[in-house]
Amino acid sequence: MKKILVGAAYYPEMWEESEVEKDIVRMREAGVNTVRVAEFAWGKMEPEEGKFDFGWLERAVGKLGDAGIGVVMCTPTCTPPRWLLNKYPETRMVYADGTRTEVFSRCHPCKSSPVMREKNRIIVTELAKRFGAHPAVIGWQIDNEIFPYNEGCYCPLCQSGFRAYLKEKYGTVQNLNEKWGMHRWSLEYGSFEDVIPPVRGRWEHPSLQSEWTRFHCKNIVSYVNEQAEILHAYTKTPVGTDMMATNLLSYEDMNEKLDVAQYNHYEPAAELGRMTFAYDFLRTVKDKPFWVTETQAGWNGSTFAEFGYRPEGACYANTWLPVARGGEMVEYWHFRAHPNGHELAHGALFNTAGRAYRVTGEIARAAKEFEACRDLLTRTQVRARVAIHYSSTAVINSVNAPMLKNFDYRATLIDKVHAAFRHMNVDVIETGHALDGYEVVVSPFLSTADEKGLRGRITEWVKAGGTWIVGPMSDIMTEYSSKYTDAPHSFLEELAGVYARYDLPVANGEYAAKWTGFEGAIGLSACYSAYELRGAAALAVYTNGEFAGMPVITENKVGKGKVILLGSLPDCATLQALTQRFALLPASDNLVLTERTGEQNAIIAVETQGKEGVLITDGKRKDVLSGRTLNGSVSVRPYEVLVLVKE
Per residue in 2-40, pLDDT tens?
899 999 999 999 999 999 999 999 999 999 999 999 999
Give the single-character DSSP code of 435: -
Q: The pTM is what?
A: 0.96
What is the pLDDT at residue 508?
Answer: 77
462 neighbors 468 (Cβ within 8 angstroms): yes
Of all residues in the chain, the percent with pLDDT exceeding 90 is 91
User: Distance between CA 364 and CA 76 in Å, rounded?
Assistant: 29
> Which of the four pLDDT bands, split at 50, 70 and 90, describes residue 245?
confident
Per residue in 214-224, pLDDT tens?
999 999 999 99
User: How many helices and strands, by DSSP H and E, does the chain display?
Assistant: 18, 31
User: Distance between CA 278 and CA 265 in Å, rounded?
Assistant: 9
Average of per-residue pLDDT across 532-536: 98
What is the pLDDT at residue 519?
Answer: 87
What is the pLDDT at residue 201?
Answer: 85
What is the pLDDT at residue 1?
Answer: 58
Ramachandran sector of residue 211 (left: φ over 0; alpha: ψ -120 to 50; beta: rest): alpha
Q: Give the closest residue to 444 by CA, choosing from 568, 538, 562.
A: 568
Dihedral, CA of residue 260, residue 264, residue 270 and residue 274, to nearest 10: -40
pLDDT at position 582 over 80: yes
SS3 string of 565-611?
Answer: EECCEECHHHHHHHHHHHCCCCECCCEEEEEEEECCCEEEEEECCCC
H or E element, residue 462? helix 454-463
362 neighbors 347 (Cβ within 8 angstroms): no
93 neighbors 155 (Cβ within 8 angstroms): yes
Dihedral, CA of residue 354, residue 359, residue 364 and residue 368, to nearest 10: 180
CATH number 3.40.50.880 given to 386-580? yes
> Which of the four pLDDT bands, split at 50, 70 and 90, describes residue 309?
confident
Sign of the CA dihedral running 282, 283, 288, 293:
positive
What is the pLDDT at residue 526?
Answer: 87
447 neighbors 398 (Cβ within 8 angstroms): yes
pLDDT at position 149 over 90: no
What is the pLDDT at residue 246?
Answer: 82
Give the single-character DSSP code of 106: S
What is the pLDDT at residue 301?
Answer: 87
What is the pLDDT at residue 474?
Answer: 97
What is the pLDDT at residue 517?
Answer: 85
Give the single-character DSSP code of 185: G
Per residue in 182-197, pLDDT tens?
999 999 999 999 999 9
Domain ranges of the chain: 386-580, 585-646
User: Distance between CA 565 and CA 470 in Å, rounded?
Assistant: 5
Give the single-character DSSP code of 109: B
Compute how many other C-beta atoms are within 10 angstroms of the C-beta atom of residue 86: 11
Compute how many other C-beta atoms are within 10 angstroms of the C-beta atom of residue 201: 8
What is the pLDDT at residue 293?
Answer: 98
Sign of the CA dihedral running 399, 152, 223, 58:
negative
Average of per-residue pLDDT across 57-80: 98
511 neighbors 550 (Cβ within 8 angstroms): no
What is the pLDDT at residue 308?
Answer: 72
Average of per-residue pLDDT across 215-244: 97
Helices (H), 332-420: 358-372, 374-378, 392-400, 409-416
Beta bridge partners of 563: 468, 556
pLDDT at position 60 over 90: yes
* Strand 327-332 versus strand 5-9 pairing type: parallel
What is the pLDDT at residue 270?
Answer: 93
CATH number 2.60.40.1180 given to 585-646? yes
Average of per-residue pLDDT across 374-388: 97
Beta bridge partners of 7: 34, 331
Range of weakest confidence among 112-126, 281-295, 464-478, 496-510: 496-510
Q: Give the closest residue to 446 by CA, choosing from 426, 427, 470, 466.
A: 470
What is the pLDDT at residue 200?
Answer: 83
Q: Give the closest residue to 347 by CA, choosing from 368, 364, 333.
A: 333
pLDDT at position 413 over 80: yes
SS3 string of 378-396?
Answer: HCEECCCCEEEECCHHHHH
First to last CA, the chain: 28
Distance of CA 316 to the CA centre of its chain: 21
What is the pLDDT at residue 479?
Answer: 87
Per residue in 36-55, pLDDT tens?
999 999 999 999 999 999 99
pLDDT at position 288 over 80: yes
Mean pLDDT of all residues belonging to the chain: 96
What is the pLDDT at residue 507?
Answer: 79
Letter string b/e over residues 595-605, b meaning 16 or more CB atoms within 10 A of that residue's CB: bbeeeeebbbb
